[in-house]
Structure 1
C-alpha cells in the first residue's frame, strides 16, 4: 500500500524545521557574541581585547565562542562588516545633495545629526575604524569607506558651493570630515547634556567654516 501523502508531509515537516531552528539559535548566539565584542573593544581597545574576555562578557564558555569564530580578528571583521553596511545606508541619506535654497544650518545639522546618531548608537565603529590598530583586512574596507564618504561630502558641498573649483571642493571636504571626526571624539567621551552641547558645537564650527565659502546663495544666513 502506498504511503499516505499526509503522513509523509507530517514526517518531513519536523525535519525541515529543525535546521531552521538551529540556524536561528546560531544567529542569536552570533549576535550575542558580537554585542559582547563591541563592549569589550570599546572598553579595552582592539589590541588589548581577548577572546576569553569576549566570551566572559557574553556569558558563554570560550569553547562556545570558538564554535562560531576562530579568533578575535574574525569577530572584529564580522562586526566591522555589519557596521560598514549599516553606515553605508546612513550616509546614503545623510549626505545627499540639497536644494540650493536649503539654509546652511539645516543642511549641516541634518547630516551631523544622522552621523552622530549612528556613532553614538555604535561607539565600537569609531573604536575599530579610527583606532591605530584596525585589524586585518578591515584596513582596506576602512579606506574604501573613507573615500566614499569624502566623495559624498563633495557632492553635498557642490550643491552648497555652486561654481567652486573641484580642487577647492575636495580640500573643503577633507577639512570638514576632519572637523567632524575630531568633534566626534569629544561627543563619544561625554554623555547627557554635555554630549548634546558638543554636538551643537560641531554643527556651529562646520557652519562657521562653510558659511564664507558658500557665497551669496539662497538660504544663506
Structure 2
C-alpha cells in the first residue's frame, strides 16, 4: 500500500514522541531510585530497554533529560495549583477548603514521586532549580492571598510568616504521605489535613472571607474526612 509522503513525517513524529515519553518515564524511575547525581544515561537507557545510542538520538546528556522531565512536571504542578487555588475554594469552610486545596497537590505528588527527588537534588540543573523556586514563590503568594481573603487587615509580615509555616508543614507531611502506600498513606493524608486544620483554625477558622462580610461565624463543627474536630 502506498503511503503518501506527507503522512510519513507525522508517523515519524508520533514514534519520536512515544520514544521520548518512554525515555522520560525511565528517567523518572532512575532519578527516583538513585537520585539525580548518581543517575547515568546508561542506567536510563537500560530502564527504557533501549541502547545508549538510541537515547542519544533524542537527548545529548543526562542534564537535557532532567530539564525536559522537570519542565513537564512543573507544567503539571501548575495545573494542580490552578485546580486548588480558585476563588470558589477560598469561600469554603476551612475543613472543606483544605480538602479542595490539598487534594490536587497530594494527588500530583503521589502520582509523580520523582518530582521531590528531582527538584530537591543537590546537583539538579540550574534551569530546573530556578523554575522550581519561581513556582515555590508563586505558591507562597497564593497562600498569602488566601489569608488576605479572610483577614485583609492582617499585617503583611504576619501573613508571610503564617503562609511560610503552613507550606513548611505541608511539605513535611507530604514526605510521610509519599513514603507510605494504600491505607497507611490515607491515614497520613488525614493526619496531614488535621495538622493543617489545627494550625490554621485559630487564625481563620472562625472568620468568613473578607468580601462576604466581617461577622465571625462558628466553624468548630467542621470536620475532615475521618477526623473529628471538637
The secondary structure found in structure 2 opposite 1:137 is: helix
2:111 is matched with: 121
The secondary structure found in structure 1 opposite 2:58 is: coil
The 1:161–1:99 alpha-carbon spacing in structure 2 relative to 1, beyond 3 Å, is: farther
1:17 is matched with: 7
Contact 1:73 1:135 in 2 (8 A): yes
2:19 is matched with: 29
CA distance in 2, matches of 1:65, 1:22: 16
Unpaired segments ≥5 residues, structure 1: 1-10
The 1:208–1:24 alpha-carbon spacing in structure 2 relative to 1, beyond 3 Å, is: same
TM-score (structure 2 length as normaliser) = 0.86
Which of 35, 38, 50 is matched with 1:45 structurally? 35
CA distance in 1, matches of 2:185, 2:164: 24
Unpaired segments ≥5 residues, structure 2: 208-216, 221-230
Query: Bigger relative contact order, structure 1 or 2, given CA contacts below 8 A and separation 6+?
Result: 1
Contact 1:104 1:219 in 2 (8 A): no
Higher mean Cα deviation, 163-172 or 52-61? 163-172
Contact 1:33 1:58 in 2 (8 A): yes
Aligned residues: 211
CA distance in 1, matches of 2:184, 2:206: 34
CA distance in 2, matches of 1:101, 1:32: 42
1:205 is matched with: 195
Q: State yes or no: 1:103 paired with 2:77.
A: no
2:166 is matched with: 176
TM-score (structure 1 length as normaliser) = 0.90
1:163 is matched with: 153
The 1:29–1:170 alpha-carbon spacing in structure 2 relative to 1, beyond 3 Å, is: same
CA distance in 1, matches of 2:105, 2:150: 19
Contact 2:84 2:104 in 1 (8 A): yes
Contact 1:101 1:219 in 2 (8 A): no
Contact 1:97 1:159 in 2 (8 A): no
2:57 is matched with: 67
Please identify the structure whose Cα radius of gyration is greater.
1
CA distance in 1, matches of 2:32, 2:48: 15
Q: Deviation at 1:161?
A: 3.2
